[in-house]
Amino acid sequence: MRVLRFLAFLSALCVAVSCDFMRTVAGRPTSAQLQQMLAEKEESEARARQEAELREEQERQRAYQADSLAAVQALAEIDFHKLTELNVRIVSELPARYNVVLGAFSSVENAQNLVSTVKAAGYNASPYQYRNGKTGVVACSSDSYVELGKSFAKLRDEKFCPADAWVLVNE
């Protein structure tokens, strides 16, 4: 009977006092401490997400800088000739300000074959006519200096690109 009264008293005390009292007695964290721990965890996760986003953005910036430097280095290796400096006259219009010249042919058919090969590889290419009757082939035409550097660097790795390819500046 005493045990029963003690258990009833203990039950009433637990209900009246709350679970936090029992958690404290048992050495467990209270509800306020649990909420604080949850808030700290959420704050830590948010900080970790922000740091990860910052690292990703820094990596994107490094990649962009590396691409830009590669384009500038590729441009430094290119042989540029201005149209006004050459002793030839071009009859047809050039597609853009900067044009990679892959070759000049006596045979229009040979020039068209090279244009087809270049286009099949995924590059823009077009023939143009010299006044002397030769047909030139230009590829990777662009009005952007940087874009030209990127595309010319890729073009040089192709089997059809001659080692003496150069850039014709249409001014």
The residue among 76, 93, 125 that closes a domain is: 76
Domain boundaries, position 63:
1-76
Residues 7 and 51 in one domain: yes
CA dist 134 and 110 (Å) reads 11
Q: Which residue has the higher pLDDT, 120 or 72?
A: 120
Domains held by the chain: number:
2
Tell me the whole-structure pTM to 2 decimals: 0.53
CA dist 95 and 126 (Å) reads 8
CATH code for position 162: 3.30.70.1070
How many CB atoms neighbour CB 67 within 10 A?
Answer: 13
Residues 42 and 89 in one domain: no
The residue among 76, 99, 130 that closes a domain is: 76
Average pLDDT of every residue of the chain: 80
CA dist 103 and 136 (Å) reads 6
The residue among 57, 76, 95 that closes a domain is: 76
Q: What's the rounded mean pLDDT across residues 150-163? A: 88
Q: What's the rounded mean pLDDT across residues 29-50? A: 90
DSSP for 52-95 reads HHHHHHHHHHHHHHHHHHHHHHHHHTS-EEEGGGSS--B-SPPS
Percent of the chain with pLDDT over 90: 21
Q: Which residue has the higher pLDDT, 16 or 61?
A: 61
Q: What's the rounded mean pLDDT across residues 5-13? A: 71
Q: What's the rounded mean pLDDT across residues 157-162? A: 90
Residues 92 and 126 in one domain: yes
**pLDDT above 70 for 75:** no
> Which region among 47-56, 60-69, 83-92 has the lowest average model confidence (pLDDT)?
83-92
**pLDDT above 60 for 2:** yes
Q: What's the rounded mean pLDDT across residues 151-159? A: 87
**pLDDT above 90 for 56:** yes
Percent of the chain with pLDDT over 70: 79
Angstrom distances, CA of residue 25 to CA of 18, 19, 22: 11, 10, 5
